[in-house]
């Protein structure tokens, strides 16, 4: 079971001709991996450095409407990996996405555009 949430930080652009929009998100996923459980009464959680990202299992989540995207790493990696004593993992990252959004202007200027952000899993 994977819990997912995101914070829409900003809408960077909307291109009605291409039918797409670009957003910045903080994207978070959480799951439990029993292999990462540890016993320690004084530690609430462990924060893993970015080079551990490839060493732990992560879900194969993707954005269904994505046409392109990138991790925002202006000064350093923007990933957070936190492991709790019960094996719960919190993975958080800051990303920019260009997403498709079919737009119709049949009733212009009274039409309304609804752009979605949908998630799925490859498996």
pLDDT tens sequence for the chain (123 residues): 999 999 999 999 999 889 999 999 999 999 999 999 998 888 999 999 877 888 899 999 999 988 888 776 655 667 899 999 999 999 999 999 999 998 888 888 888 888 989 999 987
- pLDDT for 74: 58
The whole-model pTM stands at 0.82
Q: What is the C-alpha separation between 104 and 114, in angstroms, rounded?
A: 10
- pLDDT for 75: 55
Contacts of 65 (CB under 8 A, 6+ apart): 99, 100, 101, 115, 116, 117, 118
Query: Which phi and psi (to 5°) does residue 91 adopt?
Result: -120, 120
Q: What is the C-alpha separation between 29 and 2, in angstroms, rounded?
A: 7
């Amino acid at each position: 079971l994977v819990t997912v949430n995101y914070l829409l930080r900003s809408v960077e652009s909307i291109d009605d001709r291409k039918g797409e929009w670009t957003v910045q998100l903080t994207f978070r996923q959480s799951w439990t991996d029993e292999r990462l459980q540890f016993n320690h009464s004084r530690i609430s959680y462990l924060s893993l450095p970015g080079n551990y990202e490839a060493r732990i299992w992560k879900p194969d989540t993707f954005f269904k409407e994505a046409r392109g995207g990138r991790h925002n790493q202006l000064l350093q990696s923007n990933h957070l990996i936190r492991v709790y004593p019960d094996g719960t993992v919190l993975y958080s990252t800051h990303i920019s996405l260009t997403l498709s959004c079919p737009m119709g202007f049949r009733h212009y200027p009274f039409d309304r555009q609804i752009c979605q952000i949908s998630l799925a899993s490859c498996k």
